[in-house]
Amino acid sequence: AEDEQNDIGEIIEQAPEYYNYNLVGIIVHRGVADSGHYYSFIKERLPPEGVKSRWLEFNDELVSLFDFDNKLERECFGGKEEITSISSITKTRSRKLITRTRSAYLLIYERSNASNIDLKLSSSQN
Protein backbone atom coordinates (compact mmCIF):
# COMPACT_ATOMS: atom_id res chain seq x y z
CA ALA A 1 0.00 0.00 0.00
CA GLU A 2 1.11 3.58 -0.65
CA ASP A 3 0.99 6.43 1.82
CA GLU A 4 -0.22 10.01 1.37
CA GLN A 5 -1.09 12.86 3.71
CA ASN A 6 -4.48 14.43 4.28
CA ASP A 7 -5.09 18.17 4.78
CA ILE A 8 -3.97 18.12 8.40
CA GLY A 9 -0.78 16.14 7.78
CA GLU A 10 -2.00 12.71 8.88
CA ILE A 11 -0.63 9.86 6.79
CA ILE A 12 -3.33 7.84 5.02
CA GLU A 13 -2.46 4.40 3.66
CA GLN A 14 -4.00 3.68 0.25
CA ALA A 15 -4.18 0.40 -1.67
CA PRO A 16 -2.32 0.35 -5.01
CA GLU A 17 -5.68 0.26 -6.87
CA TYR A 18 -6.33 3.76 -5.53
CA TYR A 19 -3.80 5.05 -8.07
CA ASN A 20 -5.33 3.42 -11.18
CA TYR A 21 -6.73 5.87 -13.74
CA ASN A 22 -8.57 5.58 -17.08
CA LEU A 23 -8.33 7.99 -19.98
CA VAL A 24 -11.73 9.67 -20.41
CA GLY A 25 -11.00 12.74 -22.53
CA ILE A 26 -8.54 14.29 -24.95
CA ILE A 27 -8.31 17.89 -26.07
CA VAL A 28 -6.59 18.20 -29.45
CA HIS A 29 -4.99 21.23 -31.06
CA ARG A 30 -4.92 21.39 -34.85
CA GLY A 31 -2.67 24.08 -36.22
CA VAL A 32 0.57 25.79 -35.32
CA ALA A 33 1.84 27.59 -32.22
CA ASP A 34 0.23 30.95 -32.97
CA SER A 35 -3.06 29.79 -34.50
CA GLY A 36 -5.30 26.78 -34.79
CA HIS A 37 -8.42 25.08 -33.59
CA TYR A 38 -9.27 22.99 -30.53
CA TYR A 39 -11.66 20.05 -30.40
CA SER A 40 -12.09 17.09 -28.09
CA PHE A 41 -12.67 13.38 -27.82
CA ILE A 42 -14.74 12.29 -24.82
CA LYS A 43 -15.51 8.81 -23.59
CA GLU A 44 -19.21 8.19 -23.07
CA ARG A 45 -20.04 8.16 -19.37
CA LEU A 46 -23.27 6.16 -19.34
CA PRO A 47 -23.52 4.00 -22.47
CA PRO A 48 -26.81 2.33 -23.38
CA GLU A 49 -27.28 -0.98 -21.61
CA GLY A 50 -25.28 -3.78 -23.21
CA VAL A 51 -23.12 -1.33 -25.22
CA LYS A 52 -19.41 -0.77 -24.58
CA SER A 53 -18.50 2.85 -23.80
CA ARG A 54 -17.96 4.74 -27.04
CA TRP A 55 -15.76 7.71 -27.82
CA LEU A 56 -17.30 10.85 -29.28
CA GLU A 57 -15.66 13.70 -31.16
CA PHE A 58 -16.87 17.17 -30.19
CA ASN A 59 -15.82 19.64 -32.88
CA ASP A 60 -17.74 22.90 -32.57
CA GLU A 61 -21.37 22.08 -33.33
CA LEU A 62 -20.54 18.67 -34.80
CA VAL A 63 -20.66 15.62 -32.55
CA SER A 64 -19.83 12.23 -34.05
CA LEU A 65 -18.63 8.76 -33.02
CA PHE A 66 -14.85 8.43 -32.90
CA ASP A 67 -13.05 5.15 -33.65
CA PHE A 68 -10.65 5.36 -30.70
CA ASP A 69 -8.86 2.07 -31.38
CA ASN A 70 -8.07 2.80 -35.04
CA LYS A 71 -7.82 6.60 -35.27
CA LEU A 72 -6.23 7.75 -32.02
CA GLU A 73 -2.66 7.72 -33.32
CA ARG A 74 -3.55 9.61 -36.49
CA GLU A 75 -5.57 12.26 -34.64
CA CYS A 76 -3.41 12.84 -31.58
CA PHE A 77 0.27 12.09 -32.12
CA GLY A 78 1.48 14.51 -34.79
CA GLY A 79 4.08 13.04 -37.16
CA LYS A 80 3.78 12.69 -40.92
CA GLU A 81 0.95 11.56 -43.17
CA GLU A 82 0.58 10.90 -46.86
CA ILE A 83 -2.04 12.86 -48.76
CA THR A 84 -3.29 12.59 -52.33
CA SER A 85 -3.95 15.75 -54.28
CA ILE A 86 -5.47 16.25 -57.72
CA SER A 87 -4.12 18.92 -60.03
CA SER A 88 -6.86 21.27 -61.20
CA ILE A 89 -4.96 21.79 -64.47
CA THR A 90 -3.77 18.30 -65.44
CA LYS A 91 -6.36 16.33 -63.41
CA THR A 92 -3.57 13.99 -62.31
CA ARG A 93 -3.18 12.60 -58.82
CA SER A 94 -0.03 12.99 -56.82
CA ARG A 95 0.95 11.85 -53.36
CA LYS A 96 3.08 13.75 -50.90
CA LEU A 97 4.17 13.43 -47.30
CA ILE A 98 3.11 16.31 -45.04
CA THR A 99 3.47 17.11 -41.35
CA ARG A 100 0.36 16.45 -39.31
CA THR A 101 -0.78 19.52 -37.46
CA ARG A 102 -2.94 17.58 -34.97
CA SER A 103 -1.58 16.83 -31.52
CA ALA A 104 -3.13 15.92 -28.19
CA TYR A 105 -2.89 18.99 -26.00
CA LEU A 106 -4.48 17.83 -22.78
CA LEU A 107 -5.32 14.34 -21.50
CA ILE A 108 -8.11 13.90 -18.96
CA TYR A 109 -8.07 10.95 -16.59
CA GLU A 110 -10.55 9.64 -14.04
CA ARG A 111 -9.72 7.40 -11.14
CA SER A 112 -10.84 3.92 -12.24
CA ASN A 113 -12.54 3.06 -8.96
CA ALA A 114 -13.73 6.58 -8.10
CA SER A 115 -17.24 5.51 -7.08
CA ASN A 116 -15.87 3.02 -4.54
CA ILE A 117 -13.53 5.64 -3.08
CA ASP A 118 -16.30 8.24 -2.83
CA LEU A 119 -18.49 5.74 -0.96
CA LYS A 120 -15.68 4.92 1.48
CA LEU A 121 -14.92 8.59 2.11
CA SER A 122 -18.55 9.57 2.69
CA SER A 123 -19.22 6.61 4.97
CA SER A 124 -16.08 7.32 7.01
CA GLN A 125 -17.12 10.95 7.51
CA ASN A 126 -20.41 9.96 9.20
Interval 2-48: pLDDT, tens: 566 667 777 777 788 888 999 999 999 999 889 999 999 999 988 88
* The predicted structure's pLDDT at residue 108: 95
Contact in structure between 4 and 95 (CB atoms under 8 Å): no
Statement: the pTM of the whole predicted model exceeds 0.75: no
End-to-end, the C-alpha distance of the chain in Å comes to 25
Spatial separation of the C-alpha atoms in residues 94 and 77, rounded to whole Å: 25
